[in-house]
Amino acid sequence: MGLSVTASHVIWFFAFLGLVGGGVAAFFQIHDALDSSRAARDAMDRARLHTRITNASFCYDSSAQSVVLQADNSGDVPLDISNVSFILNGSYSSGWVAADAAGDAGSIWAPGESWNFTKTSVAVDPLNVVLATQQGVQVRATKLDCPRLASILVTPASSSLLVGSQQDYAAQGLDQFGRAFAVPSFSWGSSTGSIASLTSSTARLTAGTASGAFTVSASYGGLTGHADVTLTPDAPASVSVSPSLVGVAAGGAQAFSATARDQYGNVNSTATLAWSTNAGSISSGGALTAQTTAQSGRSVTATTNGVQGSATVDVYAAAPAAIVVSPATPTINTTHGTAFTAAVTDAYGNANATASVAWSATRGAITSGGAYTAPSTVGSDTVTATSGAASGNTTVSVIRTVHVTLFQSYNAGAATTTFARGDTVETRLTVVDQDGLAVSGATVKIDMTNPVPSVVCCTQTTTNAGGFASFNYTIPNPAVNKGSWTDALVTLSGTGLVRDTAADVTVTKTLTVN
């Protein structure tokens, strides 16, 4: 059987020798030294149990000839950076510079912190790097690509601001692993207003005066990060109503819209509008029902936040509903004329002076302007005015104004007023109208009165085509007929004929009978 000799055996052996040679005191000195060594070893073991390094990785930057190692202290105890060592390609390496995640140098690596360790002047890409602690913990780092700036984060990522207001922004560089990457300073830009740097990583936006969607950007090293900013309109400063000037039929409808704008002219689509009018009634949505009385210069008003805008409304007559033709029931000579007018009103009694009127006549002629010409024959005529669905008419009495142009007594073809008993008196007359045209068919009658006096002649007759009529009477021989006779027109009539006695020649003659 082999003999196994441990350090304890050796110690106890020399202790025995000490007892033999030096006594009890020497023995206890050796025993205390043994206990101290055991206590130190136990403390080391406990520290090792609470020391934990994770996520160790390194990269080599060939352009900078540097190695950067990153690791997390995931243990329970802080680590003294001066007691952390590095093994590069199997050999201990010095000259490493430590910094925390913020880039600040320090001496204590606290639990939960991620630190970077940089070694410069490394000409060859190392195969492996090992991080070692005083507690005997060694961690082989995983080789990765060196962190590089991969993106820029701008915060707040989105915001809604009033036009013209201010907002502070911050920018942060991120590597390809999504970890913070130190950037010396950022260049700022904005699609609205102006932006000015506050620090190397912050800036203040002074928004423009136009509302809408815009962006804020931070740039470095050819990369740019963006944040969205929505500028909303300020409080309404003006209101415009559309249509701004409009005519509306009495009792009719018209829709209005209103646009509220802030002091910079931006449309404020969220403004609450209140509608009012003196032109009828209006709904909360701007729908006007016009008054029934035609009237100009009315208004519609929209109000928000103490600011208002108005439109001018002219209420005009509605569609024609009634027409009155003037003159009413006129009497007009044949072929003569007069001017008619039409008074058009709507259903509410408003005069419609702009309504288009169409004229017509049953027998006569009438122009589009209402100039009427009577027919050439007497009788009644109807003149009608029409506008849309409305119409009105009047009856025209068409007449001939007639008078006598000849009233003369004749004896044997010679005009005379002296006759002898036994002579035949021929009375001739001619009737013409207002235009001097012969009137045929007129009923005429004369009375011839003797001295008794007694009407002795004549029966009525009608005028011929030339407007002429004659009467013959033979004076009896008895002496009673001797003296002054009267020959007078007593009847001139006919359908549609109106006698103008003022235009007659003398239609009463005194005859002398011998």
Average pLDDT, the chain: 91
CATH topology of domain 53-143: Immunoglobulin-like (2.60.40)
Query: How confident is the model at residue 44, as a pLDDT?
Result: 53
Cβ-proximal residues to 474 (8 Å cutoff; 6+ apart), any chain = 422, 423, 424, 425
Q: What is the pLDDT of residue 146?
A: 81
Q: Which of 107-116, 392-401, 456-465 has the lowest mean pLDDT?
A: 107-116
pLDDT of residue 11: 42
Cis peptide before 457 (omega within 30 of 0): no
Query: pLDDT at position 122, please?
Result: 93
User: What mean pLDDT is predicted for residues 174-187?
Assistant: 92
The residue ranking higher by pLDDT, 153 or 101, is 153
Query: Residue 4: pLDDT band by 50, 70, 90 thresholds?
Result: very low
pLDDT of residue 1: 35
pLDDT mean over 174-196: 94
Is pLDDT at 9 greater than 60 in this prediction?
Answer: no
pLDDT of residue 18: 44
Q: Which residues pair with 195 in a beta bridge?
A: 205
pLDDT higher than 50, residue 243: yes
At residue 173 the predicted structure's pLDDT band, cuts being 50, 70 and 90, is very high
Looking at residue 96, its pLDDT comes to 93
Q: Say whether pTM exceeds 0.85.
A: no
| pLDDT at position 33 | 54
**Phi and psi torsions of 397, nearest 5°:** -95, 115
**Residue 456 three-state SS:** strand
Q: Hey, where are the domains in the chain?
A: 7-50, 53-143, 149-232, 238-316, 322-399, 401-513
CA distance 89 to 235: 69
Helix (H, G, I), strand (E, B) or coil at 155: strand
The whole-number pLDDT of residue 334 equals: 97
Helix (H) / strand (E) element for 11: namely: helix 7-21
Pick from 135-144, 355-364, 414-423: least confident: 135-144
User: Is residue 225 pLDDT above 80, yes or no?
Assistant: yes
pLDDT at 416 exceeding the cut of 60: yes
Residue 14: predicted pLDDT: 41
For the cut 70, the answer to whether the pLDDT of residue 39 exceeds it is: no
pLDDT for residue 19 is more than 50: no
Q: Please tell us whether the domain made up of 149-232 is placed in CATH 2.60.40.10.
A: yes
For position 46, what pLDDT does the model report?
58
pLDDT for 25 equals 53
Residue 281 reports pLDDT greater than 50:
yes
Calpha distance 276→302 (Å, rounded): 7
Q: How confident is the model at residue 147 (pLDDT cuts 50, 70, 90)?
A: confident
Measured CA to CA, the distance from residue 247 to residue 312 in angstroms comes to: 8
CB 448 within 8 A of CB 455: yes
Residues contacting 360, CB < 8 A, separation 6+: 366, 383, 384, 386
Architecture (CATH level 2) of domain 322-399: Sandwich (2.60)
Q: What is the DSSP string of 336-367?
A: -EEE-EEEEE-TTS-B-TT---EEEESSSEE-
3-class SS string, 40-93: HHHHHHHHHHHCCEEEEEEEEECCCCEEEEEEEECCCCCEEHHHCEEEECCEEE
Mean pLDDT value across residues 200-211: 97
Q: Is residue 459 exposed (0-12), middle (13-18) or buried (19+ Cβ within 10 Å)? A: exposed
Q: How many CB atoms lie within 10 A of CB 450?
A: 21
Task: Give the other-Cβ count within 10 Å of 418's Cβ.
Answer: 11
Domain 401-513 has CATH 2.60.40.1930: yes
Amino acid at 5: V
Give the pLDDT mean for 410-417.
97
Q: CATH homologous superfamily for 238-316? A: Immunoglobulins (2.60.40.10)
In this chain, the answer to whether the domains covering 53-143 and 322-399 adopt an identical fold is yes
